[in-house]
């Protein structure tokens, strides 16, 4: 948690303007799968500066974004989320400050790979969802091949020390199921094209670690170059959208 707060405290402003976070096919798919209704209460876990909250709040009766880093929440209030029915709460994802069965809908986009105890976080999301409530998770995933899994997770950790793990699709679903949620994959698998230099700049990666990231991309084995569509200036990260439901 200290790594998360340190990392995102210093980089909050960059996430306000990040097109990867502010828009994209994965955000559109999240909204479609979540299918927010006007009478519902919604929670965005690991909300960052609130790009998902900004989209969901006008579609429901009340929406709240929870994140651990105060600077991210402040940036969201100042620059991203203007809906009068939206609020922010500073909170660890494993100890959400809400009563049991408080929400009809929960979302988590591009945040769970930073959770130090993602299993506990998913259990707490289940706790605050009503029976029949929906939880939509959008996140990066690692290929099933162990070498490719290690390549992308090691690269992410070099770039950002707060990164914990991009799980495989099977592992993401198993974590949700273990929390007491029924899951289904609700999207065609998609990729997000990333500018290597913009990615490093946004995270303020230290110079020596950034140089190692560039070296690993430059010297990546053929299988990694193909899987992550690596070029001299870009690469691509695969994403999945998963719908999970609390049954009881």
Segments making up each domain of the chain, as ranges: 2-142+162-191+238-246
At the fourth CATH level, the homologous superfamily of domain 2-142+162-191+238-246 is Vaccinia Virus protein VP39 (3.40.50.150)
DSSP H helices in 18-145? 19-22, 25-34, 51-56, 70-79, 118-128
* Distance between CA atoms of residues 83 and 44, nearest Å: 14
Give the pLDDT confidence score for residue 9 in this predicted structure.
Answer: 44
What is residue 191's three-state secondary structure?
strand
- Count of residues for the chain? 248
**How many H helices and E strands in the chain?**
11, 8
Q: Mean pLDDT of successive 10-residue segments in the chain (248 residues)? A: 48 60 84 96 94 95 92 82 92 96 97 96 98 97 97 97 95 97 84 93 94 98 98 96 94
pLDDT at 92: 93
Closest C-alpha to 66, from 96, 36, 40, 100: 96
The answer for residues whose C-beta is within 8 angstroms of residue 99's C-beta and 6 or more apart is 128
Query: 147 exposed, middle or buried (CB, 10 Å; 0-12, 13-18, 19+)?
Result: exposed
């Amino acid at each position: 948690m200290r790594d998360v707060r340190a990392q995102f405290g210093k980089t909050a402003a960059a996430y306000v303007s990040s097109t990867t976070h502010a828009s994209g096919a994965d955000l559109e798919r999240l909204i479609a799968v979540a299918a927010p209704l006007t009478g519902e209460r919604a929670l965005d876990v690991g909300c960052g500066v609130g790009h998902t909250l900004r989209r969901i709040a006008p579609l429901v009766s009340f929406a709240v974004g929870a994140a651990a880093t105060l600077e991210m929440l402040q940036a969201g209030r100042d620059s991203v989320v203007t809906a009068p029915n939206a609020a922010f709460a500073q909170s660890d994802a494993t100890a959400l400050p809400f009563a049991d069965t408080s929400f009809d809908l929960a979302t988590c986009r591009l945040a769970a790979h930073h959770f130090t105890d993602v299993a506990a976080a998913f259990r707490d999301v289940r706790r605050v969802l009503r029976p029949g409530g929906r939880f939509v998770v959008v996140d990066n995933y690692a290929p099933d091949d162990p070498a490719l899994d290690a390549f992308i997770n090691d690269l992410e950790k070099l770039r950002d020390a707060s990164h914990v793990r991009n799980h495989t699709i099977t592992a993401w679903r198993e974590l949700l199921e273990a929390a007491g949620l029924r899951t289904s994959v609700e999207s065609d698998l998609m990729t997000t094209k990333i500018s290597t230099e913009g990615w490093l700049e946004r995270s303020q990666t230290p110079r020596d670690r950034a140089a190692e990231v560039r070296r690993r991309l430059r010297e990546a084995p053929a299988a990694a170059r193909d899987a992550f569509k690596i070029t001299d200036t870009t690469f691509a990260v695969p994403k999945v959208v998963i719908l999970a439901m609390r049954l009881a």
